[in-house]
Chain A
Amino acid sequence: MDWLEQELAQALARKEPAAGFDARVRARLNRRPQWLAIAATVLVMLGVGEAWHVRQQEGQLAKEQVMTAMRIAGGKLNRVQTHLKGTGQ
């Protein structure tokens, strides 16, 4: 075995990890999904909240339009009704 082979064998030789390496990796793996889940939940909640807010605004606008339509159409019919009652028809 020449010096090159010896260097290579040494460099590629199996080394045991430092003490506690396994536990640290496992801990990190367990921690990351929790943060991801929390971040995802917050994002979803913000999205749902915004969508709800927009829907409420659109609903209020639609309601106002319906009430305005009823005021205009109903008001004219009421004028007719009042007029007819006044003329005794």
Chain B
Amino acid sequence: MRPARTLVLSAALGAGLAATLWAQQFKFNLDHLEGKATEHVDLSLNSSMLTFASKFLDGKDPDEAKAKKLIGGISGIYIKSFEFKDDGGYSQADLDKIRSQLKAPEWGRMVGIKSGAEGENIEVWVRMESGKVSGIAILASEPRELTVANLVGNIDLESLADLGGHFGLPKMKKK
């Protein structure tokens, strides 16, 4: 009887944890854009992948050391980024489908910027749990570029922005 009870309890805890993690993530619903994009990046790194990767990050390299420290609090990174040859490669509905999943009270839009000259829009959404950041979502769109990122876990936004400032434009995967 005892092993059966333990099994049920473990399953319930596992399901609870999975449900919590699932709630921190959202569905991208952007697979249909892959055919239209000239270049795209699709990254899906779960907790075990991040732990594995952190073993290969060089603590002596300043950027890699920062990345290593950052992913210590992150349990998942999911990114889709597309570049299109012409304007209109994606629709406003694609963005709305994602926005509709970022609901209060867990999710709140922290900041949104609009750059008129380049037609760039970036929204940063934050998920809070017990007063702590438990996930962020970034929606960045330009006329010919769309990037959606979901980072799950406790993220140091300042360090991440600082790290992003050190790098040039990332090389995208050619289709």
Which residues of A approach B to under 8 Å, CB–CB?
58-60, 62-63, 65-84
Minimum C-beta distance from B78 to chain A (A) = 9
Residues of A within 8 A of B54 (CB): 66
A68:B170 contact, CB within 8 angstroms: yes
Complex formed: what's the CA distance from A33 to B64 in Å?
49
Interface residues, chain B, with chain A CB atoms under 8 Å away: 41, 43, 45, 49-50, 52-57, 63-64, 67, 70-71, 77, 79, 81, 111, 113, 115, 120, 122, 124, 138, 140, 147, 149, 151, 157, 160-165, 167, 169-171
Given A67-B67, A73-B138: A62 and B41 interface contact (C-beta under 8 Å): no
Alpha-carbon separation in the docked complex, A66 to B170 (Å): 12
Q: Which residue of A lies closest to B160 (CB)?
A: A74
Given pairs A59-B55, A80-B161, 18 additional interface contacts (CB within 8 A):
A58-B52, A59-B56, A60-B56, A66-B50, A66-B54, A66-B57, A70-B67, A70-B70, A70-B160, A71-B167, A72-B147, A73-B164, A74-B164, A75-B169, A75-B170, A78-B161, A80-B113, A83-B115
Nearest-Cβ distance from residue A75 to partner chain B, whole angstroms: 4
Give the dominant DSSP class at B's interface. mixed
Q: Which residues of the other chain, A, contact B122 by a CB distance below 8 angstroms? A: 76, 79-80, 83
Cα A75 to Cα B111 in complex, Å, equals 15
28 contacts between A and B (CB under 8 A): A60-B56, A62-B45, A62-B56, A63-B64, A66-B67, A67-B63, A69-B77, A69-B149, A70-B67, A70-B164, A72-B79, A72-B164, A72-B170, A73-B77, A73-B164, A74-B167, A75-B165, A76-B140, A77-B157, A77-B164, A78-B161, A78-B164, A79-B113, A80-B124, A82-B165, A83-B113, A83-B122, A84-B111
CB distance from B25 to the nearest CB of A (A): 14
Contacts of B67 in A (CB 8 A): 66-67, 70
Q: A69-B77, A76-B140, A76-B147 are in contact. Are A81 and B161 (CB under 8 A)?
A: yes
> A68 and B124 in contact (CB under 8 A), knowing A74-B162, A76-B138, A83-B115?
no
